[in-house]
């Protein structure tokens, strides 16, 4: 169990406690305020070096992390590995050793293989490792920012603030996650975060897009998607992971849209208070109808906006104060 | 003339055991029990407190030569085997190129003859282990090859497997099968189950193994050809083969030490050292295999010793090659799994020496392949392939001190009980006090 | 009882064990009133004054001072709160302080800013506050008001308005709140 991510790595949300998640969310609230200032920069990580190491290209996530690091005054080494000489087949130990030799304090890592960030953390125990998505395993900052966005929206509606509400607003909250659960690292992180915060998580997907042992997961599988849309408080859509082979798990994208897409017709079933989320990038017309993505119920843009403060919070908590603590 | 006397060991037979001396002269056991006066210059080895039995035989060693000499050579593998108590190893044919013809088999036999151990060869069933055309099984059989396998991958095509069995039967050779349906295994990198789904790793279901076990049992029934099932890892696989054997079908099976030592949760830390095919299974399968070992249902323990260069085990879990070392620890791990019951010593030698020697047809010496006899009783006249195993010694495994060229042992740091004290291969003292002579 | 002087030297979640109460609520009230008068005297009016309390210990004192200044002058004196967690120079040496919100709703350029904190100790919080302030504009001048000055400065920083000077030893701890000031020690609860 992880009770705080301070001075440690962030590899997975599995086993991260409510207390630790709330600490990140509360810290992120401070950074939301920093991001509203005309000078959006604080010196917390001055002199620290953060490397971003993306074996799998993701412009959005990389930009979000690098912006976060720069707003904390860290120096950023950006290595777009996906397009460099480091290719599939190079030993992770060699890659990280090369970068470590440049003198880094933290590495933000995206990799197509599950567990790659954890493996790297074993090779460089003195460097903080932040998982920016590993294979089908975890995408912890996405899970944190989804929880953060939900709390922010609900707190506004209740006339309170995120920090004051703590985890209260998640108590009994019905979260419905729809789509390719099997191949989704976002789903694994979201489920861990929402569950730790006290929400009830439900999933809806064709049988082939659920993991084989879904009965052991802390979720309920809904039989009737359209019925679930009528009672869900939060609807989280996932991207169909075509590059991970989910194409052969459903007959066609068209059939997926027909059965599990959030079409305009289905969006009418939602209660007015329900919020709709998507981690992006959206395939408009597949998981979500373009018109639904732009409805007021959709908080997708807020998810994007919260990417920077949540990543600032994660970098601040894991990197600031880490070195000496490791020595002692 | 060379001579050697092992003093006061517990000489373990198939059902009996008695403390005594064993005198070895010129590669053969000259006397057992009260050996009387020994020739001058005879080397004395103290075996008191130890088990003294036939040298161990490994049915399943990947020696990597030719092609992957950075991971292991025939010589380094033989030394690792000697330290582990082995006097004979069966070299698997998944080298580069594969051992699918007489020239390559002869090469390995020649290299093997220069090591202190007997190195037998398993030939490939299909050309290049591609699963498409039968390899020249009869030519290799004429050279003395008794076991054929495409190990690493099973023969996927049932029609081809049927043909291979029909072809092999009159030759008196046995086909050894790596049972996993590759399509059902889906390119997975660990057992399919709760752990794989949490870790986001594609799983290899138990059914991928069990379906192929079932298929091959039925092909044995159809053709009368003999099959040895390699590294069975699930309770159902074991139960099916035991049942078929009881029905009188010519089937045998082995289990690997990692399958009775670790369960799937060992993969939790994404350490590629624990990646192996078939994968580490849930605890219930591990218990079932231990139970089968203790109740004497298993024909052989075989290592599936699979050396890999260190850089390959630093790849991400899903990209890293499957397989782990086993030669230098299997005796201790088997002893640990059997527990200290009265019949342990007999069972130990059945699983690690007599059983595998029978499966690989290494019981008698064979001049064609320059092999001595293995897995026999410790009696005068037998070839002197012997091991002295100290069941009381406690030790810690260290990967840095392995004889193997590779380091991919999952047992690093593990506390073990029972250690090979001495290995006598072809009459020569190869290992003494646990180290190479 | 929870004090906030760990923000001077962050000490994680150590508990405070009070030994003596040094000032009562009345003493604190009188001191604040005196400080308000000193601020007006020195600046002649409240026209360009902004009160900025340091999160979280300075917050009640800043609020009270602003109220007193408005009362005395009859004009509203704006008050803001400043969190300096992200500006500290000792992040790598101490556990990370918990951050709180910064709420400054007006440009500080050309204002006279009075920073307000509960206890002045090493001066490092004030240094961080001066850095942070520069992100909010360019004040004409910055002054410092503290409820307690306990000495042991590590930087050339000096308060302009002091509620009470309290010489302390390094192993003592001070807690200053609106309802009193206590001296004691910190340790595991």
Query: CB neighbours of B351 closer than 8 A, spacing ≥ 6?
Result: B293, B298, B300, B301, B334
Whether the per-residue pLDDT at A177 is higher than 70: the answer is: yes
- For residue A285, the model assigns a pLDDT of 86
Question: Do the beta carbons of residue C35 and residue C146 sit within 8 Å?
Answer: no
Any A CB within 8 A of B407 CB: no
- Chain A residues with CB inside 8 Å of C88's CB? 44
Whether the per-residue pLDDT at A321 is higher than 80: the answer is: no
pLDDT per residue as tens digits for the range A65-120:
999 999 999 999 998 776 665 555 677 888 899 899 999 999 999 999 999 999 99
Of A135, A146, A131, A133, nearest to A176 by C-alpha is: A146
For an interface test with B, give the residue of A123, A211, A217, A245 to mutate (most B CBs within 10 A): A211
What residue of A is the nearest CA neighbor of C90? A321
Q: Could you write out the DSSP letters of every residue in A161-175? A: -HHHHTTGGGTT-EE
> Mean pLDDT across the stretch B183-207?
96
Residue B74 distance to chain A (closest CA, Å): 26
Whether the per-residue pLDDT at C3 is higher than 60: the answer is: no
Question: Do the beta carbons of residue A295 and residue A267 sit within 8 Å?
Answer: yes
- The confidence band for A246, taking pLDDT boundaries of 50, 70 and 90, is low
Delineate the domains of chain C, giving CATH numbers in brackets.
5-187 (3.40.50.2020)
- For residue A84, the model assigns a pLDDT of 60
Whether the per-residue pLDDT at B301 is higher than 70: the answer is: yes
Supply the mean pLDDT for chain B: 96
> Mean pLDDT across the stretch B147-155?
97
- Nearest-CB residue to A213 (from B197, B271, B272): B197
Q: Find the distance separating the first CA and the last CA of chain B, reported in whole Å.
A: 19
- For residue C105, the model assigns a pLDDT of 87
Region A140-304: CATH code = 3.40.50.1370
* SS3 label, residue C46: coil
All partners of chain B with 3 or more CB pairs under 8 angstroms: A
- The confidence band for C21, taking pLDDT boundaries of 50, 70 and 90, is very high
- For residue C99, the model assigns a pLDDT of 75
pLDDT per residue as tens digits for the range B357-414:
999 999 999 988 889 999 999 999 999 999 999 999 999 999 999 999 999 999 999 9
The 8-class DSSP code of residue A135 comes to T
Of B148, B142, B176, B172, nearest to B366 by C-alpha is: B142
- For residue C6, the model assigns a pLDDT of 39
Residue C95 distance to chain A (closest CA, Å): 6
- For residue B205, the model assigns a pLDDT of 98
Question: Do the beta carbons of residue B355 and residue B253 sit within 8 Å?
Answer: no
- Nearest-CB residue to A30 (from C88, C101, C136): C101
Question: Do the beta carbons of residue B158 and residue B215 sit within 8 Å?
Answer: yes
The H or E element that residue C114 is part of is strand C112-120
Alpha-carbon dihedral angle through residues B257, B261, B265, B268, given to the nearest 10 degrees: -70
Any A CB within 8 A of B201 CB: yes
- For residue A283, the model assigns a pLDDT of 84
> Mean pLDDT across the stretch B187-200?
96
* Domain B52-359 classification at class level: alpha beta
- The dihedral sign for the CA sequence B220, B226, B230, B236: positive
Alpha-carbon dihedral angle through residues C166, C167, C169, C174, given to the nearest 10 degrees: 10
The 8-class DSSP code of residue A308 comes to H
The Cα–Cα gap between C106 and B23 comes to 100
* Domain A18-138+306-327 classification at class level: alpha beta
pLDDT per residue as tens digits for the range C67-118:
999 999 999 999 999 999 889 877 766 666 777 788 888 889 999 999 999 9
Query: CB neighbours of C11 closer than 8 A, spacing ≥ 6?
Result: C94, C95, C186
The Cα–Cα gap between B236 and B232 comes to 9
A30/C99 touch (CB, cutoff 8 Å), yes or no: yes
- For residue C102, the model assigns a pLDDT of 85
- The confidence band for C50, taking pLDDT boundaries of 50, 70 and 90, is very high
A135/B200 touch (CB, cutoff 8 Å), yes or no: yes
- Percent of chain B scoring above 70 in pLDDT: 100
- For residue C8, the model assigns a pLDDT of 37
- For residue A82, the model assigns a pLDDT of 66
The residue ranges of every structural domain in chain B are 52-359
Any A CB within 8 A of B318 CB: yes
- Chain A residues with CB inside 8 Å of C85's CB? 30, 44
Higher pLDDT, C58 or C2: C58
pLDDT per residue as tens digits for the range A134-152:
999 999 999 999 999 999 9
Of A95, A96, A93, A44, nearest to A68 by C-alpha is: A44
A185/B200 touch (CB, cutoff 8 Å), yes or no: yes
> Mean pLDDT across the stretch B406-429?
97
- For residue A151, the model assigns a pLDDT of 98
Chain C residues with a Cβ under 8 Å from any Cβ in chain A: 83, 85-88, 91-96, 98-103, 131-132, 135-136
The Cα–Cα gap between A321 and C91 comes to 5
Tokens of A136: 């089908």
- The confidence band for B201, taking pLDDT boundaries of 50, 70 and 90, is very high
The 8-class DSSP code of residue C111 comes to -
Whether the per-residue pLDDT at C39 is higher than 60: the answer is: yes
pLDDT per residue as tens digits for the range A209-233:
999 899 999 999 999 999 999 999 9
Of B72, A321, A275, nearest to C95 by C-alpha is: A321
Whether the per-residue pLDDT at A296 is higher than 60: the answer is: yes
- Chain B residues with CB inside 8 Å of A91's CB? 311-312, 314-315
- For residue C94, the model assigns a pLDDT of 63
Of C142, C132, C146, nearest to C99 by C-alpha is: C132
pLDDT per residue as tens digits for the range B205-263:
999 999 999 999 999 999 999 999 999 999 999 999 999 999 999 999 999 999 999 99
The 8-class DSSP code of residue A285 comes to T
Whether the per-residue pLDDT at B429 is higher than 50: the answer is: yes
Annotated catalytic residues of B are 304
Tokens of C159: 């308060």
Residue A252 distance to chain C (closest CA, Å): 49
* SS3 label, residue A134: strand
Whether the per-residue pLDDT at B44 is higher than 70: the answer is: yes
- CATH 3.40.50.1370 positions along chain A are 18-138+306-327, 140-304
SS3 track for chain B: CCEEEEEEEEEECCCCEEEEEEEEECCEEEEEECCCCCCCCCEEEECCCCEEEECEEEEEECCCCCCCCCCCCHHHHHHHHHHCCEEEEEECCCCCCCCCCHHHHHHHHHHHHCCCCEEEEEECCEHHHCCCCECCHHHHHHCCCCEEECCCCCCCCHHHHHHHHHHHHHHCCEEEECCCCHHHHCCCCEECCHHHHHHCCCEECHHHHHHHHHHHHHHHHHHCCEEEECCCCCHHHHHHHHHHHHCCCCEEEEECHHHHHCCHHHHHHCCHHHCCCCCCCCHHHHHHHHHHHHCCCCCEECCCECCCCHHHHHCCCCCCCCCECCCCCHHHHHHHHHCCCCCHHHHHHHHHHHHHHHHCCCCCCECCCCECCCCCCCCCCCECCEEEEEEEEEEECCHHHCCCCCCCCCCCCCEEEEEEEEEEECCEEEEECCEEC
- The confidence band for A275, taking pLDDT boundaries of 50, 70 and 90, is very high
- Percent of chain B scoring above 90 in pLDDT: 95
């Amino acid at each position: 169990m992880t009770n705080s991510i301070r001075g440690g790595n962030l590899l997975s949300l599995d086993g991260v406690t409510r207390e630790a998640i709330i600490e990140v969310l509360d810290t992120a609230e401070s950074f939301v305020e920093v991001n509203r200032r005309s000078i959006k920069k604080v010196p917390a990580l001055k002199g620290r070096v953060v490397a971003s190491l993306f074996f799998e290209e993701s412009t959005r996530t990389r930009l979000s992390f690098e912006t976060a690091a720069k707003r904390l005054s860290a120096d950023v080494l950006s290595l777009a590995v996906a397009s460099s000489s480091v290719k599939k087949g190079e030993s992770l130990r060699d890659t990280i050793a090369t970068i470590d030799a440049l003198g880094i304090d933290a590495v933000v890592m995206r990799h197509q293989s599950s567990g790659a960030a954890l493996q790297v953390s074993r090779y460089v125990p003195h460097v903080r490792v932040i998982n920016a998505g590993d294979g089908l395993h975890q995408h912890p900052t996405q899970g944190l920012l989804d929880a953060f966005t939900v709390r922010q929206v609900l707190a506004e509606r209740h006339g309170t603030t995120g920090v004051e509400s703590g985890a209260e607003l998640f108590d009994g909250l019905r979260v419905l996650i729809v789509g390719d659960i099997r191949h989704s690292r976002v789903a694994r992180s979201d489920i861990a975060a929402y569950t730790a915060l006290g929400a009830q998580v439900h999933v809806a997907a064709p049988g082939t897009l659920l993991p084989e042992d879904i009965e052991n997961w802390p979720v309920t599988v809904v039989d009737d998607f359209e019925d679930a849309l009528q009672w869900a408080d939060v609807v989280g859509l996932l991207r169909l992971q075509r590059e991970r082979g989910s194409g052969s798990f459903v007959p066609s994208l068209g059939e997926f849209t027909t059965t599990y897409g959030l079409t305009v017709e289905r969006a009418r079933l939602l209660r007015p208070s329900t919020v709709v989320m998507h981690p992006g990038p959206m395939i408009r017309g597949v998981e979500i109808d373009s018109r639904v993505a732009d409805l007021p119920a959709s908080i997708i843009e807020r998810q994007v906006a919260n990417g920077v403060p949540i990543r600032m919070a994660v970098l601040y908590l894991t990197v600031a104060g880490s070195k000496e603590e490791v020595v002692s | 003339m060379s001579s050697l006397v092992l003093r006061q060991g517990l000489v373990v037979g198939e059902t009996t055991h008695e403390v005594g001396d064993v005198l070895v002269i010129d590669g053969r056991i000259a006397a057992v029990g009260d050996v009387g006066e020994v020739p001058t210059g005879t080397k004395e080895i103290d075996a008191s407190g130890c088990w003294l039995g036939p040298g161990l035989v490994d049915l399943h060693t990947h020696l990597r030569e030719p092609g992957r000499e950075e991971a292991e050579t025939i010589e380094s593998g033989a030394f690792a085997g000697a330290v582990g108590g082995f006097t004979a190893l069966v070299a698997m044919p998944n080298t580069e190129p594969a051992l699918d013809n007489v020239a390559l088999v002869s090469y390995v036999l020649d290299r093997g003859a220069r090591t202190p151990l007997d190195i037998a060869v398993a030939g490939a069933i299909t050309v290049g282990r591609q699963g498409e055309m039968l390899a020249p099984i009869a030519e290799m059989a004429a050279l003395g090859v008794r076991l054929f396998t495409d190990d690493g991958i099973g023969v996927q095509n049932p029609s081809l497997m049927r043909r291979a069995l029909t072809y092999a039967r009159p030759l008196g050779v046995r086909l050894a099968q790596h049972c996993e349906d590759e399509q059902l295994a889906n390119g997975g990198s660990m057992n399919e189950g709760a752990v794989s789904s949490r870790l986001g790793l594609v799983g290899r279901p138990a059914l991928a193994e069990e379906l192929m076990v079932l298929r091959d049992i039925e092909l044995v029934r159809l053709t009368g050809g003999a099959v040895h099932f390699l590294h069975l890892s699930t309770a159902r696989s074991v139960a099916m083969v035991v049942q078929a054997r009881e029905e009188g079908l010519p089937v045998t099976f082995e289990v690997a030490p990692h399958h009775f030592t670790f369960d799937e949760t060992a993969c939790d830390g994404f350490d590629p050292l624990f990646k192996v095919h078939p994968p580490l299974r849930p605890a219930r399968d591990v218990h079932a295999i231990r139970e089968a070992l203790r109740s004497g249902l298993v024909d052989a323990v075989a290592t599936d010793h699979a050396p890999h260069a260190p850089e390959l085990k630093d790849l991400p879990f899903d990209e890293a090659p499957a397989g782990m070392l086993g030669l230098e620890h299997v005796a201790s791990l088997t002893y640990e799994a059997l527990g200290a019951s009265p019949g342990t010593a007999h069972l130990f030698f059945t699983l690690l020496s007599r059983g595998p020697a029978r499966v690989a047809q290494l019981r008698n010496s064979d001049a064609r392949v320059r092999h001595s006899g293995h897995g026999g009783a410790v009696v005068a006249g037998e070839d002197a392939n012997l091991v002295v195993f100290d069941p009381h010694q406690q030790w810690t495994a260290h990967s840095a001190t392995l004889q193997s060229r590779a380091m991919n042992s999952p047992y690093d740091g593990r506390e073990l009980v029972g250690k090979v004290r001495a290995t006598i291969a072809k009459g020569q003292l190869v290992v003494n006090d646990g180290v190479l002579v | 009882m929870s004090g906030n002087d760990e923000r001077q030297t962050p000490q994680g979640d150590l508990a405070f064990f009070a030994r003596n109460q040094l000032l009562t609520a009345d003493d604190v009230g009188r001191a604040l009133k005196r400080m308000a008068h000193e601020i007006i005297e020195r600046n002649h009016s409240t026209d360009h004054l902004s009160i900025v309390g340091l999160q979280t210990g300075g917050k009640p004192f800043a609020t009270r001072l602003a109220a007193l200044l408005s009362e005395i002058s009859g004009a509203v004196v704006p008050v803001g709160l400043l969190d300096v967690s992200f500006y500290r120079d000792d992040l790598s040496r101490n556990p990370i302080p918990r951050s709180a919100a910064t709420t400054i709703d007006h440009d500080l350029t050309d204002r006279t800013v009075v920073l307000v904190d509960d206890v002045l100790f090493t001066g490092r919080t004030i240094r961080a506050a001066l850095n942070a302030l520069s992100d909010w504009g360019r004040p004409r001048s910055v002054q410092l008001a503290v409820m307690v000055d306990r000495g042991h400065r590590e930087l050339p920083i000096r308060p302009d308005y002091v509620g009470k000077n309290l010489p302390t030893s390094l192993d003592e701890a001070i807690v200053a709140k609106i309802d009193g000031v206590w001296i004691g020690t910190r340790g595991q609860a």
